[in-house]
Amino acid sequence: MTSRLSVVADEFRELDLMFKSESDLDVVEKGFARKLIHAVSSEDEVLECEALKSLGDLYLPKAKMKDHKAENFSKACGLYIDVLRYCRSADEKQVIEHRIKYAEKCTKLKYCQSHMESDTGVSDTHTLAVSMELHNLKKKTKLRGYGIVPSIEAYTKYFVAAVACKCKHKEVESLKGIGDLYLDKGRIGRNNAAFTKAVGLYRTALDRCEDLDGRETLEHRIEYAEKVKRRMKKRQEVGQSRNNLVVQVVGLIDINDKQQEDTDSDYIEELQEGCRALQTGDLDAAEQHFAAALKAVHVKDSTTDEYKEEAEPLCKLSDVYLEKGIQSKDGSDFTKAAALCNAALVRAKIEDREGIKQMILRVSQLFLEHVLMVDNVVDIGDSGIQKSILKKDRKYIEEEMKRIDQEVDPYTLDDDDPTITEVEKRRAEAIKVLFQTIVQQRKTFISGLVDECIEIMGPPPCKYAMIGLGSQATGLVTPYSDLEFAILVEDETKQNVKYFRNLTHYLHLKVINLGETILPAMGIKSLNDFYSDDPMENWYYDSVTPRGFAFDGAMPLACKTPLGRGTSELIHTPTANSLNSLGSAWSNLGDDKKAISYSEESLQMRRRIYGEGTAHRDIANTLNNLGIAWSSLGDDKKAITYYEQSLQMRQSTYGIVKRL
Q: Is residue 247 part of a domain?
A: no
What is the C-alpha separation between 519 and 190, in angstroms, rounded? 32
Of the candidates 307, 318, 384, which has an alpha carbon nearest to the alpha carbon of residue 346?
A: 307
- Alpha helix segments (H runs only) across 567-614: 576-588, 592-610
First-to-final CA distance of the chain:
114
Bridge partners (DSSP) of residue 466 are 487
Check if the beta carbon of residue 348 is closer than 8 Å to that of residue 313.
no
- Indicate if the pLDDT at residue 615 is higher than 90: no
SS3 label, residue 112: coil
SS3 label, residue 477: coil
Q: Is residue 121 part of a domain?
A: no
CB atoms near residue 458 (< 10 Å): 10
- My answer on whether 451 and 588 are in the same domain is no
Length of the chain: 660
CB atoms near residue 375 (< 10 Å): 8
- My answer on whether 303 and 349 are in the same domain is yes
> What integer pLDDT is reported at residue 125 of this predicted model?
57
CB atoms near residue 565 (< 10 Å): 17
Which of 110-114, 288-292, 587-591, 628-632: highest mean pLDDT? Answer: 288-292
- In single-letter form, the type of residue at position 31 comes to G
Q: Which residue did the predictor score with more confidence, 610 or 287?
A: 287
- My answer on whether 366 and 285 are in the same domain is yes
- Alpha helix segments (H runs only) across 329-419: 331-347, 353-367, 382-407
- Indicate if the pLDDT at residue 33 is higher than 80: yes
Check if the beta carbon of residue 343 is closer than 8 Å to that of residue 314.
yes
User: How much of the chain, in percent, has pLDDT values that exceed 70?
Assistant: 84
- My answer on whether 526 and 474 are in the same domain is yes
Considering 184, 218, 238, which residue would you say is the last residue of a domain?
238
304 phi/psi in degrees, rounded to 5: -105, 170
- In single-letter form, the type of residue at position 631 comes to S
Q: Residue 438: exposed, middle, or buried by beta-carbon count in 10 A (0-12, 13-18, 19+)?
A: buried
Which of 79-88, 139-148, 570-579, 600-609: highest mean pLDDT? Answer: 79-88
What is the C-alpha separation between 560 and 462, in angstroms, rounded? 23
Which of 10-19, 76-85, 328-337, 524-533 is least confident? 10-19
Q: Per-residue confidence at 130, pLDDT binned at 50, 70, 90? A: confident
> What integer pLDDT is reported at residue 381 of this predicted model?
59
CATH number of the domain enclosing 321: 1.25.40
Q: Per-residue confidence at 521, pLDDT binned at 50, 70, 90? A: very high
Q: Is residue 302 part of a domain?
A: yes
What is the C-alpha separation between 389 and 549, in angstroms, rounded? 12
> What integer pLDDT is reported at residue 408 of this predicted model?
85
43 secondary structure, DSSP code: T
> What integer pLDDT is reported at residue 441 of this predicted model?
94
Q: Is residue 158 part of a domain?
A: yes
CB atoms near residue 411 (< 10 Å): 9
Of the candidates 99, 71, 70, which has an alpha carbon nearest to the alpha carbon of residue 87?
A: 99
What is the C-alpha separation between 424 and 430, in angstroms, rounded? 10
> What integer pLDDT is reported at residue 3 of this predicted model?
66
Of the candidates 235, 238, 239, 154, which has an alpha carbon nearest to the alpha carbon of residue 192?
A: 235
- Indicate if the pLDDT at residue 365 is higher than 90: yes
SS3 label, residue 146: coil
pLDDT digits (tens, 9 = 90+) for 111-128: 876 555 555 455 555 666
For strands 571-572 and 485-489, give the pairing.
Answer: parallel
Per-position b or e across 297-331, b if 16+ CB within 10 A of its CB: bbbeeeeeeebbbbbbbbbbbbbbbbbbbbeeebb
> What integer pLDDT is reported at residue 60 of this predicted model?
82
- My answer on whether 296 and 362 are in the same domain is yes
Per-position b or e across 380-391, b if 16+ CB within 10 A of its CB: beebeebeeebe
CATH number of the domain enclosing 622: 1.25.40.10
Q: Per-residue confidence at 251, pLDDT binned at 50, 70, 90? A: very low
- My answer on whether 396 and 512 are in the same domain is yes
SS3 label, residue 555: coil
Q: Is residue 566 part of a domain?
A: no
551 secondary structure, DSSP code: B
Bridge partners (DSSP) of residue 464 are 489
What is the C-alpha separation between 411 and 405, in angstroms, rounded? 9
> What integer pLDDT is reported at residue 146 of this predicted model?
46
- My answer on whether 217 and 337 are in the same domain is no
CA distances from 14 to 156, 344, 414, 445, 604 (A): 20, 47, 99, 66, 89
What is the C-alpha separation between 138 and 145, in angstroms, rounded? 11
SS3 label, residue 631: helix
CA distances from 395 to 290, 410, 436, 510 (A): 39, 24, 16, 21
- In single-letter form, the type of residue at position 618 comes to D
What is the C-alpha separation between 571 and 486, in angstroms, rounded? 6
- My answer on whether 200 and 168 are in the same domain is yes
Considering 108, 142, 158, which residue would you say is the last residue of a domain?
108
- My answer on whether 496 and 387 are in the same domain is yes
- To the nearest whole number, what is the mean pLDDT of the chain? 82
Check if the beta carbon of residue 408 is closer than 8 Å to that of residue 430.
yes
Domain housing 355: 267-372
Q: Per-residue confidence at 399, pLDDT binned at 50, 70, 90? A: very high
- My answer on whether 547 and 403 are in the same domain is yes
pLDDT digits (tens, 9 = 90+) for 58-95: 888 877 776 778 888 888 898 889 888 888 888 888 88
Q: Is residue 416 part of a domain?
A: no
* List of residues 6+ apart from 552 with CB closer than 8 A: 470, 482, 483, 484, 521, 558, 559, 560, 561
Q: Residue 112: exposed, middle, or buried by beta-carbon count in 10 A (0-12, 13-18, 19+)?
A: exposed
Of the candidates 630, 626, 632, 631, which has an alpha carbon nearest to the alpha carbon of residue 647?
A: 626
- My answer on whether 366 and 392 are in the same domain is no
Of the candidates 19, 18, 84, 20, which has an alpha carbon nearest to the alpha carbon of residue 52?
A: 84
Helix or strand (DSSP H, E) at 466: strand 464-468
What would you measure as the largest C-alpha separation in the chain, in angstroms?
A: 119
Phi-psi region of 559 (alpha: psi -120 to 50; beta: other; left: phi over 0): left
Q: Is residue 258 part of a domain?
A: no
Number of domains in the chain: 5
pLDDT digits (tens, 9 = 90+) for 181-212: 888 877 766 778 888 899 999 999 999 888 88
CA distances from 653 to 35, 352, 581, 615, 657 (A): 87, 69, 22, 6, 11
- My answer on whether 169 and 40 are in the same domain is no
> What integer pLDDT is reported at residue 31 of this predicted model?
87
Q: Is residue 339 part of a domain?
A: yes
pLDDT digits (tens, 9 = 90+) for 635-650: 999 999 999 999 988 8
Considering 190, 223, 238, which residue would you say is the last residue of a domain?
238
Chain centroid to Cα 25, Å, comes to: 41
> What integer pLDDT is reported at residue 126 of this predicted model?
61
- Indicate if the pLDDT at residue 106 is higher than 50: yes
- In single-letter form, the type of residue at position 502 comes to N
- Indicate if the pLDDT at residue 256 is higher than 50: no
- Indicate if the pLDDT at residue 498 is higher than 50: yes
- When pLDDT is averaged across residues 403-420 and rounded to a whole number, the result is 83
